[in-house]
Structures are given as structure tokens and as C-alpha cells.
Amino acid sequence: MENTQYNGRQRATTAEQSAAGHGAAAAPPDPARRQQTATERRRRELLEAADRVVLRDGPDASMNAIAAEAGITKPILYRHFGDKGGLYRALAVRHTDALLDGLRAALDSPVPRRDRVEATLDTYLAAIETRPQVYRFLMHPADEKPDEKPGADKDAGFDVGRHSAPLLRRLGEELAEVIGERLDLGPGGEELARVWGHGIVGMMHAAGDWWLRERPCSRAQLVQHLADLLWGRLAAAGDRLGGPGF
Amino acid sequence: MENTQYNGRQRATTAEQSAAGHGAAAAPPDPARRQQTATERRRRELLEAADRVVLRDGPDASMNAIAAEAGITKPILYRHFGDKGGLYRALAVRHTDALLDGLRAALDSPVPRRDRVEATLDTYLAAIETRPQVYRFLMHPADEKPDEKPGADKDAGFDVGRHSAPLLRRLGEELAEVIGERLDLGPGGEELARVWGHGIVGMMHAAGDWWLRERPCSRAQLVQHLADLLWGRLAAAGDRLGGPGF
DNA sequence: GACTCTTGTTACCGCAAGTAACACTCGCAC
DNA sequence: GTGCGAGTGTTACTTGCGGTAACAAGAGTC
């Protein structure tokens, strides 16, 4: 009976099997398939509710709150997503997919490489700039914000940090792939591309995070600075005073 | 009475005041000062116990577990560190300080810049390689590890991710400072140095994280690859096929 | 001996994650 | 119609964690 496992995928699979089971792949009605799409639609609605609540409350969003926003109660959330991590993951892939679409577009634009790199950086930074709440939710664990009456505990909150690494890793892998297929890096280029993919993503992320918090300069300027860094200006810069070995 | 605030610093301050209060700055005994050092020693012992438990249990370390390891109970942990975040922060600065010492040494070595950069990268990577548990604790939110009987909840755990960003930011600031004071970057160099500091730290972190997990190459090779990236090899590499604007 | 300060305890609160068990409502078979 | 399987939804509960209040005991001070 598998009664300890609730999740959408499990049920969807069952539905598909039964659909394939009684042979008919009839076009218009097909109850099983219709049921499946209904489930998926519900799932999307729930995800949108979760999105709203996360955007509003930041990472201090409890399952109860999300369920309330969706107009239902906790257990059905658990039926759909298994656990909080499942919900989070579903939410995350939505946003990451959207971000990745933008990045791929920038990465594929038919302009010189430097411009392409700048466009990619700018796309990422624009994304985190225009939707900082989403960004914080995805990447950031509720940095201490000094509100909330002392009675309420400021703990809990989505366990977010626990999943930021996977996101960065996914971005890194994607970038690595693009680098690998577009640049001729000689022998061992595969490996090099992967290192660079992850490295560049990390650079973008850390710099973006800091920038978003301190806003020390314009976005365009940040893009220039980072592109300069990638273009080897670190190697080219002059020393300031001259220690022993310069 | 200030009964809602317990922490070592508060009490230490009080002790100092009373010491100054009744005048005597007597050298050998001085009860207040002795008390203070005793408190600090106790604090260190607690931190070491916490360290042990974190190293053993990974980030799923509860306050109860830490207290048990230290041979005491929760409330005194709270008296010393205020809340879990406080304990974490104390633990974190210990380790970050140690790491920073190593990095500063590498950054200050009297060799050509490329070698210095490589030494810095290697120092960081060596640190996370030799103490991955510490690293995971500091930076990483308990990536799903598929153990633990399903009865035990795999949630909670140190809230770790919630503080990884501050650590990276601190590293970034430190690196920025060194860059700023050693390189001549022309007008606006301050800002540039900060961007680079955070960017490089992010690069190091993300690449290191990925490398630690997949071990796709030797440490030395990773260092080379990253240094190459910083040295502008991305700009110099040849295209593979030639899209429109290459 | 009384006073204070620190260390330590037990026993509790509040809260969030996650579950069990039960109730309603369709659409479909016979 | 009646039965029934699958989904949706509920209330009420357990467990475990962070955090705190209230109290008890040892050590130095007057």
C-alpha cells in the first residue's frame, strides 16, 4: 500500500500506468489523462500560492502559512510535495528555469565574446536586482533581520540555505556546458570548462550578493568590473609599492 | 535586572566594572579578573565540545546534543552564547580566523603575483580538503544525506546556511583590502578592489565546493585552472566553430 | 551567618514539521 | 440506483527543537 509515501510524482506515475494499461489512447476524453492534468494544474496553483507567500513573508514562510494562502491545510501540501524540501525544490526549479532561459539567451547572442560575457553577467544581475525577494529565498537563508517581536521565534523559515548549493551547482554545470561547446580549450578542455563554469558562477553569485546588499555602484559598472577581472586585468595591474619579489 | 539577556560579554563587562570599582588593580589575585578568565576558559571548553559534536554529527547538531557532549545542559549554553546563532557565530569566527591567518600568509609571501595567487587558492583548497566536515558545517547546509531512519526528522540542524553568506562576505572584504593596498588600480580602484575581492572569493568557493564533491582532478590542477581563468585565458581562448559575430 | 555571583538543574512553553484517521465528492461500473 | 476507487479536504495529534523561568547548590566576601 506504500502508505508512507505521498507525492505528486508517485500518483502521476500510477495514473500514466493505468492509462497505458487499458490500452485506449483516445484523444478527447481519456479520464486518466484528464485527471493527471487536473492534478498538475492544482500543483501549479499551489506553487503559485507558495510563491506569493514566500515573496511576501520572505524565507520565514511556514507550511501552515503557505497552506493558508492557498486556501487549504497542510496535509494536502504534503501530499503534493512530500515534504518542505520537495516544495522548495519545485519552487526553485521554476525560478531557476526562468533564469536559465534568460542566461542562455544572453550566452547565445551573436556578438563578440566580451559583449556576450557582459550580457550574461548583466542578465543575472538584473534578475537578482529586480526580484531580490526571490533571489534571497533561493540563495539565502534569511539573514538576520532585526524585526519580529521577541516572542515569535526567528528560527525555522524555509531551510532555504540547505538548497542554495544545488542551485549554484546547476548553474555552474550549465555554464560549463556552454563554455565547453563554444570554446576551443585544447586538451583537457572539458575539465577546464567545468572548473571555469563553476568558478564564474561563483564569482557572479558572490559579487552579486555583496552588490545587492551594499549597492556600492551601478549595475553596469559592476558588470564592467567583473568582466575586467575575467579579462585578466588582475594579471595586468601594476603593483603599488613593491615588496621583495615584485 | 535585565533578566532576558544572558551572555558572557554582559557578565564579563559587569566583572570589569566591579574590578575598577573597588579600586584595587592588584597584580596576582584580583578576583574579578580571575573570574573573567575562568569564564573565558569555560567558554572555550564549550566551544571545543560544540566543535567535536559538529564534526561528528555534521550539521544536524542540536543544542541538546552539544550540551550533552559538554557534560551539561542547554540553559548554560544559552547563558554563554545567547542563542544558537551566537554559538554558531563563535564557532565560525574561530575557524574563519584560522583560515584567514593561512590566507594572509599566502597573500603576503614574497613571490611573483601569479605564484601568490596560486598559493592563496591552494591554501583555501587545502583547508577545505583536509577538514571537509568543518567546511561543510561553515558553508553548507546539510546537503541531503540519505541516511537517518525516517522516524527521525532530518530537518533542524544548525541553521547553518543562514550564516554562510556572512563568512563569504568577510573573506571577500579581507581579500579586497589586500588587493586594494597592494595593487595600483588607478582611479576608482577602491571599488574595483572590492568587487574583485568578493568575486574571487566567490569563484574560489563555488569551484572548491564543486571540486570537493566530485573530485574531478587534483588540487594542483584545479589551482592552475582557476589561476588561468584569473589570468585572462578565457579572453584568449579560441572559438570552436564560429557563430555569426566571432 | 547573610549576601552575591556563577554554575548548574528540571520542567516547562511555543512552534513548526510531519502524520494518522476520518469525511466528502465526484465519475464510472454493474 | 448501489458500490467503489481515487482525489481533495479536514481535525487532531505526535515529535522534537529552540528558548526560558524558576529554583538549587558551591565558593568567595563582608
pLDDT above 70: residue A148: no
Among the partner-chain residues A114, A206, A217, the one whose CB lies closest to the CB of B205 is A206
Residue B82 CA to residue B102 CA, distance in Å, equals: 30
Mean pLDDT of A145-166: 46
Q: Where in chain B do CATH 1.10.357.10 domains reside?
A: 89-142+160-232
User: Which of the four pLDDT bands, split at 50, 70 and 90, describes residue A18?
Assistant: very low
User: How distant is C1' of D19 from CA of B7, in Å?
Assistant: 14
Residue A141 and residue B144: Cβ atoms within 8 Å? no
Residue A121 CA to residue A131 CA, distance in Å, equals: 16
Q: Does domain A84-144+155-231 have CATH number 1.10.357?
A: yes
User: How distant is C1' of C22 from CA of B49, in Å?
Assistant: 48
Give the closest nucleotide to B156 (alpha carbon vs C1'). D17
pLDDT above 70: residue B36: no
Residues in Cβ contact with A238 at an 8 Å cutoff, skipping those fewer than 6 apart: B183, B184
Burial of B37 (0-12, 13-18, 19+ CB in 10 A): exposed
Residue B238 and residue A183: Cβ atoms within 8 Å? yes
Residue B89 CA to residue A59 CA, distance in Å, equals: 20
User: How distant is C1' of D5 from CA of A49, in Å?
Assistant: 29
Residue B245 is given by DSSP the state T
Nearest-Cα residue of chain B relative to residue A221: B192
pLDDT, one tens digit per residue, over B211-236 is: 999 999 999 999 999 999 999 999 88
Q: Quick one: pLDDT at residue A4? A: 34
User: How distant is C1' of C30 from CA of A19, in Å?
Assistant: 21
Burial of A35 (0-12, 13-18, 19+ CB in 10 A): middle
Nearest-Cα residue of chain B relative to residue A246: B112
Residue A206 and residue B209: Cβ atoms within 8 Å? no
Q: Quick one: pLDDT at residue B9? A: 35
Residue A202 CA to residue B230 CA, distance in Å, equals: 13
Nearest-Cα residue of chain A relative to residue B144: A162
Residue B159 and residue A181: Cβ atoms within 8 Å? no
Residue B200 is given by DSSP the state H
pLDDT above 70: residue A185: yes
**Nearest partner of A162 among A87, A56, A224, judged by Cα:** A87
User: Which of the four pLDDT bands, split at 50, 70 and 90, describes residue A163?
Assistant: low
User: Which of the four pLDDT bands, split at 50, 70 and 90, describes residue A47?
Assistant: very high
**Contact predicate A142/A135, CB 8 Å:** no
Residue A140 CA to residue A88 CA, distance in Å, equals: 13
Q: What percent of chain A has pLDDT over 70?
A: 72
Mean pLDDT of B116-120: 95
Q: Where in chain B do CATH 1.10.10 domains reside?
A: 33-82
Interface test with A, best of B83, B153, B225, B228 (most A CBs within 10 A): B225
Q: Quick one: pLDDT at residue A159? A: 45
Mean pLDDT over all residues of chain A? 78
**Contact positions of strand D to protein Cβ (< 7 A):** 6-12, 15-22, 28-30
| Fold held by B33-82 | Arc Repressor Mutant, subunit A (1.10.10)
Mean pLDDT of B202-213: 95
Mean pLDDT of A171-197: 92
Residue A241 and residue B143: Cβ atoms within 8 Å? no
Measured between beta carbons, which residues in chain A are less than 8 angstroms from residue B233? 232
Shortest Cα distance, chain A CAs vs residue B232, angstroms: 4
Q: What percent of chain B has pLDDT over 70?
A: 72
The DSSP line for B13-25 is HHHHHHHHHT---
Q: Does domain B89-142+160-232 have CATH number 1.10.357.10?
A: yes
pLDDT above 80: residue A25: no
Residue B183 CA to residue B84 CA, distance in Å, equals: 40
**Nearest partner of B159 among B140, B132, B134, judged by Cα:** B140
Top mean pLDDT of A51-65, A182-196, A217-231, B76-90 is at A217-231
Please indicate whether residue A179 or residue A18 has the higher confidence score (pLDDT). A179
Backbone angles phi, psi at A170, to 5 degrees: -65, -45
Mean pLDDT of A158-183: 79
